[in-house]
């Protein structure tokens, strides 16, 4: 899942280790999330959102390729 983690981290001049310490996870986890190799669980996503003082939707950008729930406006 695309995310703005690297951009938000760079704006605060935090290293991955700094962000990992604030989120109580390993640096490998932060690296995996930033490189889109791993999607965080809901509790971790909320923790990251709290750390950056933003909502989850402002940080994580889902790939909206699934159109099964789209309703026909007509």
Partner 1 sequence: MTNQAQPDQVTRAARRAILIDGLPVITLGGVALALGSSPDQSTTQKALWIAATAVFALAVAWVLLRAFRRADEYLRKIQLESMAVAFAAVLVGLQVATVLDSAGVVPLHQLTQLIVIGGLAIWLVTADLRTRFHR
Q: Does 15 bind partner 1 (CB under 8 A)?
A: yes
For partner 1, the binding residue among 5, 9, 40, 52 (CB under 8 A) is 40
| 17 vs 39: CA distance, rounded Å | 18
Q: Where are the alpha helices (DSSP H) in the chain?
A: 5-11, 16-23, 27-34, 42-52, 56-59
For partner 1, the binding residue among 24, 46, 50, 55 (CB under 8 A) is 24
Query: In sequence order, which residues have a C-beta less than 8 Å from that of residue 74 and are 6 or more positions away?
Result: none
Q: Does 26 bind partner 1 (CB under 8 A)?
A: yes
Residues of the shown chain interacting with partner 1 in the complex, contacts defined by CB under 8 A: 15-18, 20-21, 24-29, 31-33, 35, 37-38, 40-41, 44
């Amino acid at each position: 899942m695309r995310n703005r983690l690297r951009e938000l981290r760079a704006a605060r001049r935090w290293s991955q280790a700094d962000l990992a310490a604030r989120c109580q996870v390993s640096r490998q986890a932060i690296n995996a999330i930033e490189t889109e190799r791993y999607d965080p669980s809901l509790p971790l996503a909320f923790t990251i959102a709290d750390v950056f003082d933003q909502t989850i939707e402002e940080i994580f950008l889902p790939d909206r390729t699934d159109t099964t729930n789209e309703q026909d406006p007509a």
